[in-house]
Structure 1
Amino acid sequence: MKFPKAYARRYLAILGVMVLAACGAMEDARAAASDSAAHIDVSGHVFRLDAAKVTYAFGVNEKGQLQSIYWGPRLASGDPLPTPVAPPGRDAIDGVVNVIPQEYTGWGEGLYYEPDLKVTFPDGNRDLVLHYVSNSVHDNVLSVVMKDIERPIVVTLQYEIDPGTGIVRRSAFIENHTETPVIVEQASAGTWILPRSHDYTLRYLAGRWAAENDIYERPVQPGKTVLESRRGSTGMQNEPWFAIRRNDANETHGQVWFGALAWSGSWQIAIEQDQAEQIRITGGFNPFDFGYKLAPGASLQTPSFYAGVTNGGMGEASRLMHRLELTRILPQAPHPRARPVLYNSWEATEFDVNEAGQIALAEKAASIGVERFVMDDGWFGARNNDKAGLGDWTVNPQKFPHGLKPLIDRVHALGMDFGIWVEPEMVNPDSDLYRAHPDWVLNMTGRPRNLGRHQMVLNLARPDVRAYVLGALDKLLSENQIAFLKWDYNRSWSEPGWPQVPADQQKNVYVDFVRNVYGILEELRRKHPNVEIESCSSGGGRVDLGIMRFTDEVWPSDNTDGFDRLRIQDGFTQAHTPGVMMAWVTDSPSSMNKRSMSLEYRFLSSMQGSLGIGANLTKWSAQDMATAQRLIADYKVIRETVQHGDLYRLMSPDNGSEHSATENVSPDKAHAVLFAFLHSSTEGYPYPTVRLQGLDPDARYRVRVLQGTMAERTPTVASGAYWMNVGIDVVMRGDFQGSAIAFDRE
């Protein structure tokens, strides 16, 4: 190896420590395994992770490369694993490196498929070949160190397997130990390798504003499918999630590999079948316009990439991801609190908020059983419309002459806690903040500053902007008894420049911005541990496992039409738990489609997630209020099962189906709730028999109707086997009909 002389001695010392760590790695791994249901075994140069029903294994081949060995259903503890041996090259055109199923590759030595890491050195060299150096295990995290064969670029790969689900988390920590800066042009968390086969189908989620999370499928064939966002944020055009199933797999059975990227900025997941018919899934920062300057001694941490495998079909893949989010990802994990029933004032008042009007709404909300009152946009600065005020986070004295305290006190007296809307990453040109600091926005010198929704994006990568946003929110929370922030983010990036730093450092904005958003959220939660936060981005524009580490719930879509939401929620729950899925009951006809549906239907649609009310309660009749009070009371009884139980999608509304049905089962199988929906009756056919799933077949369950009608002669009590095999018939005819039925173990 050739090093710059100033670094040679230091790097030899580092290698010495690594060798000592490698010598003790087997003991460390076995000790970790004995203390947890997750097992990490190191035998020679083979690494094996076991948890739940999954085994993940890879090793070091004779070339010093990390080579995938196995990822699938759990193997017996004594089962032998193949020795990692690089397969021979098939021809001179492709080269040997392209047939090796590597865990993590640098772009070099003739690599043609998607690399994990690509860098440019100051001398123009772009060849990077990573070989194994050492490994260690600490707190059930396996760390594997790799280094370029000639230059001190060091990459530490981290592997962690979740005991409850067998989902593996991967990330990469990249260090520059050279004496000069390098530019990181591409960096992923890692590459997942699937067994060679021709019978794979890719499932992914795509959409647009008000039409998020459509389910798409396509065969995995030679070439590359790229899922991505180039918007500076997660985006609603693609969800950073994938599932690849065997062609004979469906919702209830068959082998599925699935995963999600934990990053709230521009991202990419590439699914590639290469020239050797090997399937690779590589995910991390989006390489488009990417160039992170890594100074000497500096480091870059990639996002985490989570992935799992199951033989239980798409439904079980979703339930495993839901369980991971509830027990490992969310801020209150492993036991998140149930989401309170929420009222939001936006549709009732829009920007026309004031103390008297908000109190009147709060009184009506409390009377139907709402537990959290949220005042939306319009309370601050000169915010009378969406053209002014963003960035000026001070209470409007005309609307609230005595500050927020009288309103908050009244909300508390009504038995509710108080929440408020903010959009702290944005600024209007018509604001005191922008007039004072026009240089604080993302911009490119001399170029137009494009507006989206009359606003620009603050450059959160700047330390001074980060300090301002954190200070403003901290002051707001410190001076008021606020329990909840609805954190909005209503436009994508344009002109992602950072003129205040050197040109070769400006592209760092893609990483530093998001890291600072996470840092602000983390600091606010530390200073105000009882405050809960919702991630909202014009609907589902920022929903990912990265932002979910710091937020308690998310807003899936601005489209609150009760029927449209069935499809949106069907897609959302492919990747995310209903426990974080905010779902509002709004007025009818809906503003989206101008069609009418009953209040009961709208409630049942929303009760499949975290229930909220967004309608103008001042227009509701006494009967509407009574219906809402009844259904909210019912929801409070079942919400623990809905939010934290296992979800079974019994009939999907995808592809325009007339029927939809979901079932939630409590983790102890003591309770279940069925939601069934009919779009329109067709030729007098009855609603299909619904056969439940996930119950204890030997237990006895008593049925009770929350909404709707069961067929005559439906038994009051029957076994779990009965409800799962004989099933239940609900009576629904007409348009936009819904039923909800609870099952309780006796």
Structure 2
Amino acid sequence: MNQTKTSMAAAILALLGTSGLAAKPATPTAPIHYDADHKTFRIDAGKITYAFGVNDDGILQTLYWGSRLAPDDAVGNATPPKSRSAFDAIGANTPQEYAGWGGPITVMPDLKAHFADGNRDLILRYQNYKIDDGGLQVTLGDKAAKVSVILRYVADPATGIIGRSARIENHATQVMTLDRVAAASWNLPAATDYSLRYLTGTWAAEWHVRTRPLTPGATDLESRRGSTGDENNPWFAIERGGHWNESQGHVWFGALGWSGSWNIHIDQDVLNQVRITGGFNPFDFSYRLQPGEGLDTPVFYAGYTDDGIGEASRLMHRFEIARILPEGPKPKLRPVLYNSWEATEFKVNEPEQERLAEKAASLGVERFVIDDGWFGARNSDKAGLGDWVVNREKFPNGLKPLIDKVHGLKMSFGLWVEPEMVNPDSDLYRQHPDWVLNFQDRQRSLGRNQMVLNLARQDVRDYVFNALDKLLTENDIQFLKWDYNRNWSEPGWPQVAPEEQQKVYVTYVQNLYDIMRRLRERHPGVEIESCSGGGGRVDLGIMGLTDEVWPSDNTDPSDRLSIQDGFSYAYTPAVMMAWVTGSPNWVNKRNSSLDFRFLSSMQGGLGIGANILEWTPAEDATARSYVEAYKGIRATVQQGLLYRLLSPQERAPYSATESVAADGSQAVLFAFLRQGQEAQAYPTIHLQGLDASSRYRYRTIHGTVAPGTPAVASGAYWMSHGIDLGLRSDFDAAAVVFDRVNGDR
């Protein structure tokens, strides 16, 4: 791990104190100013200004969040709105930065608590502030209840994205029980033309983009599953006006950095003000703080642009690459990967894996990964989980001979693991049946023939860490595909007092982060992929400790166009793995050409998961050609600026994306036709993001362009005149590279 680089999450949490994330040195962020005369705070970062102040009642109140203002522009004073009626008092309508549930408040609070003496009233008033290179710290408190809330603000100067979190501290002599804890609230000005965009899905059908008008009332996006979940993802975008699109419109957007149960509550009040509150899911939540104890929240990140939802995505991508990923601001490019699951499933053995490795290396693959089936009594999904020892029947001499073989073929080596789970048919469960999430003397539900280990327990946390540490110490492994294949059930923790058991929702995730952090410190060369039956655990928390993610188990190249498109709204292609698998596809039995499969997968981190031993020499040659071509464009694809040109959402027949290198030297266009209709021509593609005055030469990886297309033309030409592609038949595709001519800048 690069110890000189600090993620936004780590910068905040290091200053707050305790966290499962690494406490690295703080990274300087955008300047933050305090105006003592008006009691206002102002953050100017990227192209935004964010301002809030202290009103006459001592409440921290949002003043402005939008396009950047001039340095001498006033942001106003914190003045609560007038009382609308006895039913809508001032406290109910004031856009608070962080509200306690107390006094005349009817909006969803950030913090709700009750005390041993029966008090449930909590009013958080301003106490003091501190500004340093790590950001802004504002302390609120209820002096009578002896509670402090320390708010942290860190702003990225490049993108204007702000990370906010809170620490709640109990300074009383009695127990304080937290019933609801948010990381932050974001307030938007009063308007009646807002719409909400969010992501929904299920297994093999993740990342559907949904849009709905915001009207008075509330919308909850959440997971109650114990992990992030794919039913909703912890990301939102709110657009204003009826004319927004990929390139224009006011967009406020954000994402929660938490890998457990979460909630984002979006409310429009009687004054048409919109408030977005995000943090721990309050469902089944209770967290007791003894006198002197505190709790840190996740980080809630958010940004703004007036250049449309496409620019919102590009800002998120830049931010994630530079400030979230553990190797940022210049993370390694994702290597071309081969995974052996589709070829062997559980029938793993050393000779077969060696044959696959030889074939993969001949195609230009750079990383070879053994999937499930290499350990314990793992011949199906009914046994072996939890026993992280090499199966000596399959690998008589351990993994070393195969690893040496893979390294000799100039590839890195990786393994599949699912360390948070256990099968009832395993040595681990037979020895420690109490180690799983359970309620005493109640049923223990199975999912995929397995149960969830209670990682909140210190002994379980230590076992998981030690097992993986031993595996990595004894074997020269460069990569772990970290899977997580079921949701929680019976989330009990019988070993602690009943009133403490609901801490499991927080402590589990903190310990998960701690395990990953310590493994990275002990084995700095090892990279980790986050996988959860597909895209069930993708969020800015887990991304701070992993190098790539698995968006979906669905590898059908046509379905993947929509899945990858939806993924890109919130997360960068730099971490998005995409595999070329067999045809017909195992999900839907759909047939597609090897060309279509490769081009669909080349929009992210390219992997191959097909049984390559069955490929013909012609297919080998095709694959080898695409792998070589991909290596020449992957920096642009993975870490460039993404433009969504034609949307595949709602089963649209067309899809087109363009990636532009950060320095403008290259652009890569991918275009797909799912279904040709009535001999209609494919839409003319107008590129975006090029330097208008530079000249670019095009070359095709696959597909044809219209006769008469100039070999070299200006960026203005490619963006204004566009390019016509010869896509006509079902599941047709093209890839075109535009390289800036030498001498042009």
Equivalent residue in structure 2 for 1:213, among 190, 207, 214: 207
Q: Deviations over 1:628-670 (max 9, x none)?
A: 0000000000000000000000000012211110000000011
Q: Secondary structure at the match of 1:735?
A: coil
Shift of 1:414: 0.5
Q: Which residue of 2 aligns with 1:587?
A: 582
Distance 1:489 1:655 in 2: 29
Q: How does 1:217-236 map to 2 (within 5 A)?
A: 217-236=211-230
One of 39, 58, 67 as aligned partner of 2:31: 39
Provide Cα deviations, 1:513-553, integer angstroms capped at 9, x if missing partner: 00000000000000000100000000000000000000000
Is the aligned partner of 1:398 residue 2:393?
Answer: yes
Letter in 2 for 1:42: Y
Q: Hey, what's the Cα distance between the residues in 2 that align with 1:721 and 1:651?
A: 20
Q: One-letter code of the match for 2:181?
A: A
For 2:731, what is the secondary structure of its paired residue?
strand
Tell me the amino acid that sits aligned with residue 673 of structure 1: V
How many angstroms apart in 2 are the aligned matches of 1:271 and 1:624? 50
- Quote how far apart the aligned CAs of 1:37 are: 7.0
Q: How many residues are treated as equivalent by the alignment? A: 713
Deviations 1:647-694 (A, max 9, x none): 000000012211110000000011000000001111111111000000
Equivalent residue, structure 1, for 2:546: 551
Tell me what 1:371 maps to. 366
**Partner of 1:105: helix, strand, or coil?**
coil
Q: CA deviation at 1:732?
A: 1.0
Map of 1:84 onto structure 2: 78
Q: For 1:187 and 1:252, locate their aligned partners in 2 and report how far apart those are by CA, in whole Å.
A: 36
Aligned to 2:8: none
Letter of the 1:683 partner, please give it.
E
Aligned to 1:20: none
Q: How does 1:24-173 map to 2 (within 5 A)?
A: 38-44=30-36, 45-173=39-167
Are residue 677 (structure 1) and residue 669 (structure 2) matched? no
Counterpart among 188, 195, 199 of residue 194 in structure 1 = 188
Aligned AA (2:585): S
- The residue that corresponds to 2:645 in the other structure is 650
Q: Is residue 658 of structure 2 the alignment partner of residue 663 of structure 1? A: yes
Identity, % of aligned pairs? 62
Letter in 1 for 2:138: V
Question: What is the CA deviation profile of residues 342-367 of structure 1, one whole-angstrom value per residue up to 9, with x for unaligned ones?
Answer: 00000110000010010000000000
> Where does 1:293-308 land on structure 2 (aligned, <5 Å)?
293-308=288-303
Alignment-derived partner of residue 286 in structure 1: 281
Mapped to 1, the partners of 2:590 and 2:134 lie a distance apart of 53
Quick one: distance in 1 between partners of 2:152 and 2:33? Answer: 14
Structure 2 length normalisation: TM-score?
0.95
Give the whole-Å Cα distance in 2 for the aligned partners of 1:657 and 1:444.
47
1:461 is aligned to 2:453 = no
8 Å contact kept, 1:532–1:551: yes
Q: Tell me, which stretches of 5 or more residues in structure 2 are unaligned?
A: 1-26
Tell me the residue number matched to 2:16: none
Tell me the distance in 2 between the aligned counterparts of 1:429 and 1:147: 48
Partner of 2:494: 499
Match of 1:680, SS state, is: coil
Deviates more, 1:454-463 or 1:72-81: 72-81
Shift of 1:180: 2.0
Structure 2: how far apart are the matches of 1:409 and 1:161?
Answer: 46
2:212 matches 1:243: no
Could you list the structure 1 runs, at least 4 aligned residues long, displaced by more than 2 angstroms after superposition.
none
Q: 1:268 aligns with which of 263, 272, 283?
A: 263
Q: Distance in 1 between matches of 2:29 and 2:359?
A: 49
Q: Which moved more, 1:524-533 or 1:110-119?
A: 110-119
Letter paired with 1:427: V
Number of the residue aligned with 1:17 = none
Q: Which residue of 2 aligns with 1:639?
A: 634
- Give the CA deviation at 1:296: 1.2
Q: Is this contact kept in 1: 2:227–2:487, CA < 8 A?
A: yes
Which residue pairs with 1:12 in the alignment?
Answer: none
**Amino acid in structure 2 at the alignment position of 1:57:** A
2:182–2:278 Cα contact (<8 Å) kept: yes
- In the alignment, which of 592, 596, 608 is matched to residue 597 of structure 1? 592
RMSD over aligned CA atoms reads: 1.0
1:309 aligns with 2:304: yes
- Verify the 8 A CA contact 2:416 2:483 in the aligned structure 1: yes
For residue 86 of structure 1, report the CA deviation from its aligned partner.
Answer: 1.5
Contact 2:29/2:135 (<8 A) preserved: no
Asked whether the 8 Å contact 1:701–1:718 carries over to 2, the reply is: yes
For the 8 Å contact 1:38–1:140, the answer to whether it is kept is no
Task: Name the residue aligned to 1:695.
Answer: 690
Distance apart, 1:276 and its partner CA: 2.2
Q: Any gaps of 5 or more consecutive residues in structure 1?
A: 1-34
1:252-651 pair list within 5 angstroms: 252-651=247-646
Distance 2:456 2:340 in 1: 32
Partner residue of 1:18? none
* Contact 2:63–2:76 (Cα < 8 Å) also in 1: yes
Deviations 1:609-635 (A, max 9, x none): 000000001111111110000000000
Higher mean Cα deviation, 98-107 or 632-641? 98-107
**Contact 2:28 / 2:133 at 8 angstroms: preserved in 1?**
no
Contact map agreement 1:129 1:149 (CA 8 A) in 2: no
The structural deviation recorded for 1:124 is: 1.4
Q: Is the 8 A contact 1:36 1:163 kept in 2?
A: no
- Aligned to 1:180, the other structure's residue is in SS state coil
**Residue 720 of structure 1: how far off its partner (Å):** 0.1
Match of 2:681 in 1: 686
Deviation at 1:95, TM superposition (A): 1.7
Shift of 1:733: 1.1
In 2, Cα distance between equivalents of 1:357 and 1:655: 41
Decide whether the 8 Å contact of 1:200 with 1:219 is kept in 2: yes
Q: d(CA) in 2 for partners of 1:608 and 1:322?
A: 14
CA distance in 2, matches of 1:135, 1:422: 45
Q: One-letter code of the match for 1:424?
A: P
In the TM superposition, residue 140 of structure 1 has moved relative to its aligned partner by 3.6
Q: Return the letter of the residue paired with 1:41.
A: H
Cα separation, 2, equivalents of 1:662 and 1:362: 32
AA aligned to 1:630 is S
Deviation at 1:148, TM superposition (A): 1.1
Pairwise CA distance, 1:38: 1.5
Q: TM-score, normalised by structure 1?
A: 0.95
Aligned mates of 1:183, 1:166 — CA distance in 2: 35
- What is the rounded CA distance, in whole Å, between the counterparts of 1:547 and 1:562 in structure 2? 26
**CA offsets 1:684-729 (integer angstroms, 9 cap, x no match):** 1111100000000000000000000111011000000000000000
